[in-house]
Structure 1
Amino acid sequence: MPIDIETFESSSGDRLQHSGETNADRVMRFLAANPDKAFTQSEIRDATDVKAGSISVVLSRLEDRGLVRHKGNYWALGEADDVAAYIGLLESTRAANDRFGEEDVDEWLEHAVDDEDTE
């Protein structure tokens, strides 16, 4: 997604690296939209634009959390209650961002407590 040049010029490199949506979020959103199907890693990668070097790790971590299932070369949405909770959190976050705007990391950092100040 493109950004305006003012945002580009005024934001730190760290701020511009984070899109707000993780690779895991993209994979879960895709699988949740297709709960009656199973996909290969390459199909999930192509549908979500997750980099080839990252998709295996993302899927393995999601499987460890019970959010996806894996058989042979295929991956599908998990069956656990955790999936519903994860999707609910994702949708709630998206709705809050739509209504109130995304969090501004630089603004949070301005007000963050420095560990040295608390000692």
Structure 2
Amino acid sequence: MPIDIQSFEEGDEADLRAGGRTNAEEVLAFLASSPDQAYTPSEIHDGTTVARGSLGVVLSRLEDRGLVRHRGDYWAIGDVEALDVTLSSMATARAATERLGAEDPDEWGPGVDDGDESE
């Protein structure tokens, strides 16, 4: 669904996600809606708002975490228990971010490692 250019330029980044969900959440929700089915990447793309060029990376990362399974040209939902934990964690993190705002590593103070080795 297109958005107006003012929303694109001035909108909150969370608002620029379809339904506020990440690509991973979109794919997981789609696959979890039919746990007895497996889909090709093209079918997953057609059933979600995930860009075709992003889908391969998203699926690979989800597979690395055991959240989806891959066999031949098809993908299916993975370990349902791990999926429940992951989706719950994502929802909690999103709710905290909406309530408290995004983290700013510059505000963490001295001596806190933000994982950025470039400094």
The answer to whether the 8 Å contact 1:66/1:80 transfers is: no
The answer to whether the 8 Å contact 1:41/1:75 transfers is: yes
* Cα RMSD (Å): 3.6
What do the CA deviations read for 1:18-75 (whole angstroms, capped 9, x no partner)?
Answer: 5242111100111111111110000001111211111111101100000000111110
Gaps of 5+ in 1: none
Counting aligned pairs with the same residue, the percent is 43
Instruction: Describe the shift of the 1:63–1:104 C-alpha distance in structure 2 as closer, same or farther (beyond 3 A).
Output: same
CA distance in 2, matches of 1:31, 1:16: 23
Provide the TM-score with structure 1 as the length reference: 0.66
Gaps of 5+ in 2: 112-119
CA distance in 1, matches of 2:55, 2:99: 26
CA distance in 2, matches of 1:113, 1:36: 46
The answer to whether the 8 Å contact 1:68/1:78 transfers is: yes
Query: Which structure carries more relative contact order (alpha carbon 8 Å, separation 6+)?
Result: 1
